[in-house]
Amino acid sequence: MSEPLPWLIERSIQIAWDYLERSGEIADAAEASRFLQKAVDEMVMKGERRALMLANRAIDAYRHRDLQLAS
């Protein structure tokens, strides 16, 4: 049985947020929230339904975005 999409999205974002927050990687909470929401939404639209995969890919995308901004 799969969970409703809003719950899946919320849970995935929360997992990513918790990790990034604990590791001290969130400088701007509002921007990070928008970025994670968009990243997870895009992956869900492409068919991904595994919460941990969504969270891990969102974390990777956030870190990659940070690296691009620093360059």
Instruction: Give the predicted TM-score (pTM) of the model.
Output: 0.89
The shares of helix, strand and coil residues in the chain, as percent rounded to the nearest 5, are 75, 0, 25
User: At 40, which amino acid appears?
Assistant: V
Quick: pLDDT tens for 32-54. Answer: 999 999 999 999 999 999 999 99
Name the band, by pLDDT with cuts 50, 70 and 90, for residue 69.
low
